[in-house]
């Protein structure tokens, strides 16, 4: 039970040799407490969200897994939490106690399930297909970009998953396919969701997509790898997280030396935060557009 966050099913109890009377005796003494029909938790085990998820999976039966919004929360998405116990099973839908939401997914197979802290959970690629059924397209795209940046999933895995589920009438398949096709970065993968968002903002406002991850060499050694660059105009665009200002003094000063050197070489550096991109995307795009216009109309040419 310890490996399952303190819960066990009737079937598992019988598999390890307990008789029906033995199960009933543990329930009768209060050692085991019923959670769902035929699923029990040990009285000494603290009630946690992971335990509720594991109990939901056990109650849903063989081949089941945490899925949809609960799976997103398990894999992790910044600024997103979900306390809903949401599971999928390959056979008919059943009703469970304690507000467990169950989806019937006939095509759910072992290849679509991983263990996350011991709890069977749909893989990141499969989760992105499933959440298109219950969440807006923009949420799917945001989740996809962060997981790509965090290297939780790859473009190849996503494209393969879309093809595997094509023609099955699944709403989520079309949404994930569109999110892949509409990526501003194409086949490039950002280092953060904020990087990907910056590309989306620029393209959405009619600006040309700058070069992604442009490397600048100086005096025979690498000086900087820019998040984005309009190379001909020598405009560098960087995305900053709040945490960048909370790093070590050495790292903070290294960033200042780097930017100063870029300025000496003729580069103009624009810096934006995630909050700016979310709250005022038009201002961000407008700033970049004005800088581009200034460089181009001044006759500037990068050396």
Catalogue all structural domains in the chain, each as residue range(s) with its CATH number: 132-183 (no CATH), 193-297 (3.40.960.10)
- Confidence label for 243 from pLDDT (cuts 50, 70 and 90): low
Mean pLDDT to the nearest integer, 89-109: 82
Average model confidence (pLDDT) for the chain? Answer: 91
CA distance 141 to 139: 5
b/e code 90-108 from CB counts within 10 Å (16+ = b): beeeeebeeebbbbebeeb
> 7 and 40 in contact (C-beta within 8 Å)?
yes
Closest CA to 106 of 64, 166, 57: 64
Mean pLDDT to the nearest integer, 182-207: 95
Q: What is the pLDDT of residue 287?
A: 98
pTM attached to this predicted model: 0.88
> 229 and 210 in contact (C-beta within 8 Å)?
yes
* Percentage of residues of the chain with pLDDT beyond 70: 94
Q: What is the pLDDT of residue 165?
A: 87
User: Which residue has tokens 């962060």?
Assistant: 146
pLDDT at 89 over 90: yes
> 230 and 264 in contact (C-beta within 8 Å)?
no
Instruction: Give the least confident one: 53-62, 238-247, 270-279.
Output: 238-247
H or E stretch including 226?
strand 221-230
- Confidence label for 96 from pLDDT (cuts 50, 70 and 90): low
Half-sphere exposure of 239 (CA within 13 A, CB side): 22
- Confidence label for 248 from pLDDT (cuts 50, 70 and 90): low
């Amino acid at each position: 039970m310890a490996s399952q966050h303190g819960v066990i099913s009737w079937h598992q109890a019988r598999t390890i040799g307990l008789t029906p009377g033995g199960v009933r005796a543990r329930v009768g003494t209060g050692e085991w407490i019923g959670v769902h029909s035929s699923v029990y938790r040990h009285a000494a085990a603290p009630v946690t969200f992971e335990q509720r998820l594991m109990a939901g999976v056990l109650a849903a039966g063989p081949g089941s897994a945490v899925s949809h919004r609960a799976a997103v929360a398990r894999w992790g998405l910044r600024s997103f939490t979900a306390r809903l116990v949401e599971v999928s099973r390959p056979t008919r839908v059943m009703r469970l106690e304690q507000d467990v939401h169950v989806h019937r997914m006939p095509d759910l197979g072992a290849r679509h399930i991983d263990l996350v802290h011991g709890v069977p959970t749909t893989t990141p690629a499969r989760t992105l297909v499933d959440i298109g059924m219950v969440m807006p397209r923009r949420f799917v795209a945001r989740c996809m970009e962060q997981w790509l940046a965090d290297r939780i999933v790859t473009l190849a895995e996503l494209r393969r998953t879309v093809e595997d589920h094509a023609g099955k009438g699944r709403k989520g398949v079309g949404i994930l396919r569109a999110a892949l096709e509409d990526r501003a970065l194409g086949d490039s993968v950002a280092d953060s969701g904020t990087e990907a968002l910056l590309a989306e903002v620029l393209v959405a406002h009619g600006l040309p997509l700058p070069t992604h991850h442009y490397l600048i060499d100086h005096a025979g050694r690498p000086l900087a790898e820019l998040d984005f660059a309009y190379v001909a105009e020598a405009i560098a665009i960087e995305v900053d997280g709040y945490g960048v200002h909370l790093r070590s003094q050495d790292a903070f000063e290294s960033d200042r030396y780097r930017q100063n050197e870029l300025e000496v070489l003729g580069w103009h550096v624009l810096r934006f935060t995630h909050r700016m991109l979310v709250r005022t995307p038009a201002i961000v795009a407008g700033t970049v557009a004005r800088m581009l216009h200034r460089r181009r109309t001044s006759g500037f040419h990068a050396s």
